[in-house]
Structure 1
């Protein structure tokens, strides 16, 4: 048998990582949403600032969505891989036990 962490430990660590990532992304999106330009008579500079602010918010939101998808895929891959290693290790152990 291989000396590996229990699949549950690996999956739990992957879940903690995914949750921490989601929390950080949520904070970034929240911070981007809080960026405001106080209403007043708009100059061309202010209008340009509003356009750029909308762009920043869009980029942060799109990036957050992409990170969420990648984070979930990474967690699922880690969980499947940990279980596959454990299954292969157990099967190998049984095969060796049958020989001995």
Structure 2
């Protein structure tokens, strides 16, 4: 998918080659082109399985408890605490300096 300067997607384009020729052309014309690489889902799934295999059983039990509580609607939520953490994370990522 290609995204133009206005942020809208214009379609899906398949890339061929290594892009080295594009880099040389970009350097000579002064125009730059952005590119995106998408990792296939099988590779991501394999990485996730490796990470899960390395997790301790205690952590997996806690994750399952939280997942079950979320599915049942019984997970306690403190909206003030959630909002505070969202703002804190946003400020940490983009400080106002």
Determine if the TM-score, normalized by the shorter chain, exceeds 0.5. no
Larger helix fraction of residues: 1
- With a CA cutoff of 8 Å and minimum separation of 6, indicate the structure with the bigger relative contact order: 1
With structure 1 as the length reference, what TM-score do the two structures score?
0.21
Larger strand fraction of residues: 2
With structure 2 as the length reference, what TM-score do the two structures score?
0.21
